[in-house]
Amino acid sequence: MPQVKAYAAAASDADLKEISIERRDLHDNDVKIDILYCGVCHSDIHAKLNDWGNAKYPIVPGHEIIGKVTQIGSNVSKYNLGDLVGVGCMVDSCQTCSACEEDMEMWCENGSTSTYNSKDKFLGGHTLGGYSTAIVVREEFVLSIPQNLDIKAVAPLLCAGITTYSPLKHWKVKKGDKVGIVGLGGLGHMGIKFAAAMGAETVMITTSEEKAKDAKRLGANSVIISKDSEQMKAHANSFDFILNTIPVGHDVNPYLALLKRDTTMCLVGAIEPLENIHGANLILRRKNLAGSLIGGIKETQEMLDFCGKHDIVSDVEMINMQEINTAFARVQGSDVKYRFVIDMESLKN
């Protein structure tokens, strides 16, 4: 079984450090990918810290993977050696349940396999993610990368991109809609770019005065500082859709108050208990509070093609693998503009 280098944490309170891991020998429909770049998602940090109570150690995070195909199984038809490809948050699902048949593998009735921290059907143990030099993935979960984009900055599209694109499409954001994006981090900055590209009047809702200028450069028409209750009040009952990327449980009431009658706020960040919701904020104008999880493989490819067409990539800060522990601390302090991407060459030498 081939061994490859990876970065792993042995426990929730341990730093990540180099280890050697196994990747499986190829099955007929597998693609082996030499990893060039991997984005650093806030979920990698939640997972390592066991915030969701399901961590398995050693944990090798990483689900925003860009690389080159180095080997293919005998039945692989979509990819050839040398192709530039991507892998996101999932590497397998049953492919036959109603969710998979409707291209929503993330809600596979039999449980989709996450890129890391899921049961590994082939090797036993658990799956190990993209903070490594190579990965083996069945071809149905491998994505094609548009040729015209800077591939370093494409990596974050595999999670931050699809997680923001999918709800904007699902709730049919269109030209002229007033759309709020809450939280200017990895997900939020992609949310602004997509909402603006879809023609919406895009409003950044942030805790940070300092990021306001950047929000406009990224495509926001205006900015609301969420800590300023006067600014929030001035926008009451005016939004057609709000995408909320705040990574922790919080008080959603001030954001619900911004929605118009019959519209929706979708949560993607807080996968944990929320503070009490005041029913009046939903009942009085028939408002909806919803959630969304990444997106299916077909929609992920659609999102990548949309990015190719509209020249959309992530704003990235490149790091070496050895800098990952500092990068985690900076993400936790909301100090990243707007996604760290690991140059995996640093782990190969």
Give the residue with the Cβ less far from Zn ion, 43 or 206. Answer: 43
Q: What is the 3-state secondary structure (H, E, C) of 262-294?
A: EEEEEECCCCCCCCCCCCHHHHCCCCEEEECCC
Q: Where are the beta strands (DSSP E) in the chain?
A: 3-9, 16-22, 30-40, 65-72, 84-87, 90-92, 113-114, 134-138, 143-144, 178-182, 201-206, 222-225, 239-244, 259-267, 288-291, 316-320, 339-343
Distance from C-alpha of 137 to C-alpha of 18, rounded to nearest angstrom: 22
- Cis peptide, bond prior to residue 131, ω within 30 of zero: no
Distance CA(64)–CA(251), nearest Å, equals 29
H or E element in which residue 148 lies? none
Closer of 62 and 200 to Zn ion (Cβ): 62
Can you name the residues that pair with 243 across neighbouring β-strands?
181, 266
- Tokens 């061994």 correspond to 3
Kindly state whether residue 329 participates in binding ligand NAP, applying the rule CB under 6 A. Answer: no
CB of 255 to ligand NAP, least distance (A): 10
Task: Check residue 268 for interaction with ligand NAP (CB under 6 A).
Answer: yes
Distance CA 276, CA 216 (A): 32
Closest residue by Cα to residue 244 from 171, 166, 182, 169: 182
**Minimum distance, C-beta of residue 64 to Zn ion, in the bound complex (Å):** 6
* Member of 334, 343, 346, 348 binding ligand NAP (CB under 6 A): 334
Could you tell me which stretch among 2-10, 116-124, 132-140, 156-164 binds ligand NAP (CB under 6 A)? 156-164
Q: Is 341 in the site for Zn ion (CB under 5 A)?
A: no
Question: Which range touches Zn ion (CB under 5 A), out of 152-160, 261-269, 304-312, 315-323?
Answer: 152-160
Interaction between residue 247 and ligand NAP (CB under 6 A): yes
Among 144, 207, 322, 325, binds ligand NAP (CB under 6 A): 207
What part of residues 23-42 is at the interface with Zn ion (CB under 5 A)?
41
Choice between 136 and 331, CB closer to ligand NAP:
331
- Please report how close the Cβ of residue 171 comes to ligand NAP at its closest, in angstroms: 14
Binding mask 277-296 for ligand NAP (x = CB under 6 A): ---------------xxx--
Look at the chain and count its residues: 349
Which of ligand NAP, Zn ion, none interacts with 207 (beta carbon under 5 to 8 A by kind)?
ligand NAP
Q: Residue numbers of the site for ligand NAP (CB under 6 A)? A: 41-43, 46, 159-160, 163, 183-188, 206-208, 211, 245-248, 250, 268-269, 292-294, 331, 334, 336
Binding residues vs Zn ion (CB under 5 A): 41, 43, 159
